[in-house]
Each structure stands twice: as C-alpha cells, then as structure tokens.
C-alpha cells in the first residue's frame, strides 16, 4: 500500500494522459478525462486506480480486478473485465513505471533525510572542495580536499566523499555511503551502505606470507548507474574498475578490482565478480551468480541464478549451472540425473521385494 507520509503524491492522471504516454488510443466509449487518483496492484486496485498486467501468473487477479484502468499487453487484453478500461501496449510495465515516477517523484531516488537544501552546518566540507550551486550536504557528511560535486546532487547523512573524487550532477548518495578514488557521472544513485573505491583484494602469495599489492587504480562510474544497498566496487590495481552507462546493480553485490562492466547491464543481488573480468553491454546476471576472474561474458548474455561462470561466455548466450554451460545442455544433464536417480530408487525397490 502506498503511504503518503513516505511518498507524497504530486499529481494525478486522466485516461487520455496515460494513453498518450503509452502511444496508444483508448477503447471506444472510454472517457479520456476520467481521473485516475492512484496506482495499485490488480488485486487491491479500486475504481480510481491504475493497474498493469503483463504476466500470466496474474491472469486470475486480472479477471477479478476492480481497477478503473489497466495497462495491459496485447496477450491479455481480452481478459480485462468490462468495467475496467484497457490501455493496450506491449510496454505495460514500463508505462506504469513512468506514471508512478511522475505521481511519486520522491520515490525515484534517495532524497535528503534532513528536509533541507544547501550545506548543513553539521557537515564537514574541506575548504578546497568545489561544490556547484544546488548541492545538498546532510549533517555528518564529509567532503574531502579537492573533491568536486555537481549541481543538484544530494550527499546523505554520514556519507564520505574522499579527496579528489568527482561526482556529477543530479546524483544521490544515500546515508552512510563512502566514495574514494573515483570519478562518477551524472544521475548516479548510490543506496545506503555502498562502498566505492576501496582496496581491491590483491596479495602476492608465498611461503613467507602474503604480500599486499598496492591498489593504485580508480573506479569510473558512468551516467545513470544505480547501485543497491551494501554493494561494493573495489578500485583497480593498476588500471580502472569501470561501471558502464545505465547499468543497474542490486543490493549485496561484490565487484572486484579491474572489473569492466558494460552499458545497461543488470546484476541481481549477491553476485560476486572476481578481478579483471569483463561484462560486455546488456549482460544480465541472476542472483548469487559467481564469476571467476579474468573471464569475458559477451554482449547480451544471460546467466541463470546461482550459476558459477568459470570461462568465457559467447555473446547472446543463455547459460546456467555449476559450472555454467549452455542452458539446453544444463537441462539435459538435469533430466538425465533425474532418470538415473529414479532408476536407482526402482532397483532398490525391486531388490527389497525379492
């Protein structure tokens, strides 16, 4: 349920405006000026709410919804109840997200927790730091020497921006974020507990002990990247760790030194990427995927959750398993193992009966 004290609603939409966002037309007889006052899931939406439908798991909920209107993909358009206005679009979820973003802009990125603008007197900003007009720095935050922060950026309470770090415009650092040895682009979102630019895990192993290898690279984060809570991005050893434009990283992800991640990748929670690996553009890693060091995952490849990637993955491939291999091969092996296990159980039963 949406709680207005956390996310105040800034505007409403009528049916015509939603249809325009979806680049579609309303059904015959629909009142384009009908006002939608909120958004809700199918099962709880009321007559003044907008819902969406693009997943076969919710066909039952679609059939009984009381929503005033529903953004729906063509596949399910015929199942929308007569009392609900269907707004048909192949991008139902995306348009729903656009509507929500305009209704509840404060939910789009972390905002100041101090309900203030400008530099809080309880923050610590080094005299040599350069902050453009419109930067917000909350209490307890520390901005180091020669750091640069662009207009419209919010630095949350008790966050630390290290010496010489550069952060672009309209970024959001939630409370308790640390950034060092990094250059960050525009509109980047770092959620609470994110750590950027700390030492990579580098040691020269030997019988005399493990000698620390100095990590003298940087972290480069390009525009429109979002990194979830308590994720870590280590700086490079002797070159850069890079996160490409538009990439979205979930909570609790570890990205090691020298890793290069391309544009518009999706990395789900608890992924670990070992040092010097490369993800090309549009790669998707499911939850708990482990990626070995010094491997390359090709453009558009998808790796199933809990898989272990031990070698290079071709562009566009769909792999899974431990170790990860092509999906069809993995499924065939699972089927064969089930048959072997079933045969073993059958043999045991035959032996017992004899």
Contact 156, 110 (CB under 8 A): yes
Active site residue 264: no
Cα 155-159-161 angle, rounded to 5 deg: 80
Kind plus residue range of the DSSP H or E element containing 61: helix 59-64
SS3 content of the chain, % helix, strand, coil (to 5): 20, 25, 55
DSSP string computed for 222-265: -TT-EE-TT-EEPPPSSS-EEE-TT-EE-SS-EE-TT-EE-TT-
Query: E strands of 74-120, at which residues?
Result: 85-88
The one catalytic residue among 146, 257, 264, 294: 257
Determine how many CB atoms are found less than 10 A away from the CB of residue 329. 12
Angle, vertex CA 222, rays to CA 216 and CA 224, nearest 5: 145
Contact 15, 85 (CB under 8 A): yes
Task: Name which of 316, 325, 323, 250 is nearest 283 in CA terms.
Answer: 316
- How many helices (H) and strands (E) would you count in the chain? 4, 38
Question: Catalytic amino acids?
Answer: 257
């Amino acid at each position: 349920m949406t709680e207005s004290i956390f996310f105040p609603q800034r505007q409403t939409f009528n049916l015509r405006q939603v249809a325009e966002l979806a680049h579609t037309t309303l059904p015959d007889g629909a009142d384009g000026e009908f006002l939608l006052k909120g958004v809700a899931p199918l099962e709880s939406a009321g007559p003044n709410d907008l819902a969406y439908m693009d997943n076969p798991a919710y066909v039952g909920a679609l059939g009984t919804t009381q929503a005033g209107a529903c953004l729906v993909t063509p596949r399910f358009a015929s199942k929308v109840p007569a009392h609900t206005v269907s707004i048909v679009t192949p991008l139902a979820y995306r348009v729903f997200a656009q509507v929500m973003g305009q209704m509840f802009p404060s939910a789009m990125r972390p905002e100041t927790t101090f309900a203030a603008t400008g530099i809080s007197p309880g923050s610590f900003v080094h005299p040599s730091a350069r902050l453009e007009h419109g930067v917000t720095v909350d209490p307890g935050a520390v901005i180091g020497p020669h750091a640069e922060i662009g207009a419209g950026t919010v630095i949350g309470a008790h966050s630390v921006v290290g010496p010489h770090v550069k952060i672009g415009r309209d970024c959001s650092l939630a409370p308790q974020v640390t950034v060092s040895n990094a250059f960050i682009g525009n509109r980047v979102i770092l959620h609470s507990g994110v750590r950027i630019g700390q030492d990579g895990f580098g040691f020269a192993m030997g019988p005399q002990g493990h000698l620390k290898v100095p990590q003298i690279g940087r972290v480069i984060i390009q525009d429109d990247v979002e990194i979830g809570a308590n994720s870590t991005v280590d700086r490079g050893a002797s070159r850069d760790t890079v996160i490409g434009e538009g990439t979205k990283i979930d909570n609790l992800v570890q990205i090691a030194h020298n890793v290069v991640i391309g544009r518009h990748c999706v990395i789900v929670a608890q992924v670990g990427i070992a040092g010097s690996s490369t993800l090309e553009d549009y790669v998707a890693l499911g939850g708990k995927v482990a990626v070995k060091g010094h491997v390359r995952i090709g453009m558009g490849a998808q790796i199933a959750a809990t898989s272990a990637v031990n070698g290079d993955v071709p562009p566009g491939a769909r792999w899974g398993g431990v170790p990860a291999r092509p999906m069809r091969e993995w499924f065939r092996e699972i089927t064969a193992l089930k048959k072997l296990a079933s045969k073993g159980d059958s043999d045991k039963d035959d032996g017992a009966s004899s």
